[in-house]
Structure 1
């Protein structure tokens, strides 16, 4: 499983940014046909708008990917401490090429299912296009919650099923088999149930087959 994910992202490293940002006609057509025209650029802007421009907390970005959407924001948050984590060595290298010169940003190759940090370390966790990749989603939800401080902020976006037959077919028959996505996947209602176990003030939106949200840790882990 681990090798499959590594190989998938190593093989796609030269087209990864183009597909996400719709940088070519082919990628625009792919998004329009298979993803109902959902604009990842706009979703990224919405997510990053949740983070104040003067934010000074401790942030975990998992998975950072190539930092194609976050680079400008992270570079500007000089009062924050940002940890960029990804399972893929190739993704981490590309992110570090973009942001390695900034002293307030660090880079870690690691597994979201076993985060290499102590509990209640971060004021904020951002997971952009991550949970549909994680093979053990229960552990990923548990770990990202555990490393958040009480009242910490969880911000994320990822694929959810049963919103589009075309997208679901693509994910099941191509993306999952190639290792770019990893089942099982959640429906919108299943996700709400999971989030409500750990979080409060959940602000959730759905665009095509992508969900994005902001919420706050409601549980005290010391009790």
Structure 2
């Protein structure tokens, strides 16, 4: 974890080169575009999964004084680093919990917003993760974030297969952008916003007031 934040944020020349050459993206720009989906005056409950080290979100959360924010991550080490950042940044409205996105410990329709930045490529059971996030999100609430999609960048796909999977950082299968777009629009409706930035899919979706037949079938098949 020593160089984790340096790698993600491009603080070092080698990390900037890595992000540009392999992933064809600026992680800071990607994070800003995702976080711009959430207004600073957001009021309500927000779930951030996986919260990671909160390196991209701490400053944003400090401005969201009227929000109730829950940061969940499977990694206790990530939670520990995020807790230090929370204390340093004095983010009083952020609570941190260790847990599994495939079995979220929250009631149905509990959150007004779910944020997931660069998490789905690491989730072993992506179907359950999508279904659980849909379950805990209120109708009219929004789901936004980004995740790796295959087929956009050959170097990225090669690194994922030869390195990231072998180290246990990524877990197949992965959607292509077209598959991700079809999945999100099937669950959340045709108004779901999607775009690619390098090898990432950026998205914002609003949960419909009434489930479509496709989203109802999807959640019923993946929530036990």
Question: Once the two structures are superposed, what CA deviation does each residue of 1:125-174 show, in whole Å capped at 9, x if it has no partner?
Answer: 00001001101000000001100000110001010001111110000110
Partner SS, residue 193 of structure 2: strand
> How much has 1:197 moved relative to structure 2?
2.3
Question: Once the two structures are superposed, what CA deviation does each residue of 1:77-127 show, in whole Å capped at 9, x if it has no partner?
Answer: 111100000000010111111114433211100000000111100000000
CA contact (8 A) 2:104 2:132 kept: yes
Partner SS, residue 186 of structure 1: coil
CA contact (8 A) 1:65 1:91 kept: yes
1:60-75, aligned counterparts within 5 Å?
Answer: 60-75=47-62
1:4-23, aligned counterparts within 5 Å?
Answer: 13-23=1-11
> How much has 1:33 moved relative to structure 2?
1.8
Q: Distance in 1 between matches of 2:200 and 2:72?
A: 22
Q: Which residue of 1 aligns with 2:206?
A: 216
How many equivalent pairs are there? 209
Partner SS, residue 61 of structure 2: helix
CA contact (8 A) 1:199 1:219 kept: no
Is 1:102–2:56 an aligned residue pair? no
Q: Distance in 2 between matches of 1:125 and 1:150?
A: 12
Q: Which residue of 2 aligns with 1:27?
A: 15
Q: Which residue of 1 aligns with 2:168?
A: 179
Is 1:166–2:165 an aligned residue pair? no
1:130-149, aligned counterparts within 5 Å?
Answer: 130-149=119-138
Q: Which runs of 5+ in 1 are unaligned?
A: 1-12
Which residue, 200, 203, 207 being the options, matches 2:197?
207
TM-score (norm. length: structure 2) = 0.90
Q: Distance in 2 between matches of 1:22 and 1:177?
A: 24
TM-score (norm. length: structure 1) = 0.90
CA contact (8 A) 1:75 1:99 kept: no
Is 1:113–2:102 an aligned residue pair? yes
Pair 1:28–1:103, CA change in 2 (3 A)? closer
Q: CA RMSD in A?
A: 1.3
Partner SS, residue 132 of structure 1: helix
